Amino acid sequence: MYNHILYPTDGSEASEATIDHIKSLADQYDARVHILYVVDSDHNESSMTLKRDSEGNWKTGMVSRGPGEDQGGMSRDKVDVLEVLEREGEELVAEIAGELSQEEGIKTATACKRGKPHRVICSYAADNDIDLIAMGTHGRSGVSRQLIGSVTEKVVRTADTPVLTVRQSD
């Protein structure tokens, strides 16, 4: 029934809430799990810059400078935000694939793509004969959901493929 399961992830707790369901389905149906990270193309329009902290983690926005550094507010270093996000996305999907294949014996495929997340997810599903899309959701409602928007909701409304949603526990 399920030969190919798509797991779109952004590394959030909501997307991680889905992983146990994916493992169970992949094990039961001997399915391949496609792990997809989408770099939102809207980040390209951001005026924010990125800088690594002392532990190597990326920090966005207005970053504090050390003594003698330019105090103009934004970094003089040109950083392609999309490239950084893509690199981090590739690391994330590789890590998840490694865990699934090595620890669980699940077949995997990985991809990192740019675009509008809900469109990329639906397109990937159509292009790769995906039988099920499994996604996490924050479970927001009202104004919060309307202001932030929901990639999962857009996928549910527009995908031709069945979508399993798992709500992030509180």
Q: 86 φ, ψ to 5°?
A: -65, -45
- The number of folded domains in the chain is 1
Which residues, in sequence order, are CB contacts of 73 under 8 Å at separation 6+? Answer: 62
CB 25 within 8 A of CB 5: yes
Q: Please indicate, yes or no, if residue 84 is contained in any of the structural domains.
A: yes
What pLDDT shows up at residue 166? Answer: 92
CATH of the domain at 34: 3.40.50.620
User: Which two three-digit tokens encode residue 99?
Assistant: 């865990």
- Digit-coded pLDDT (tens) for 81-91: 788 888 889 99
Give the domain extent around 111. 4-41+80-167
- Amino acid letter, residue 68: G
CB 159 within 8 A of CB 135: no
- Digit-coded pLDDT (tens) for 138-157: 755 544 444 445 888 899 99
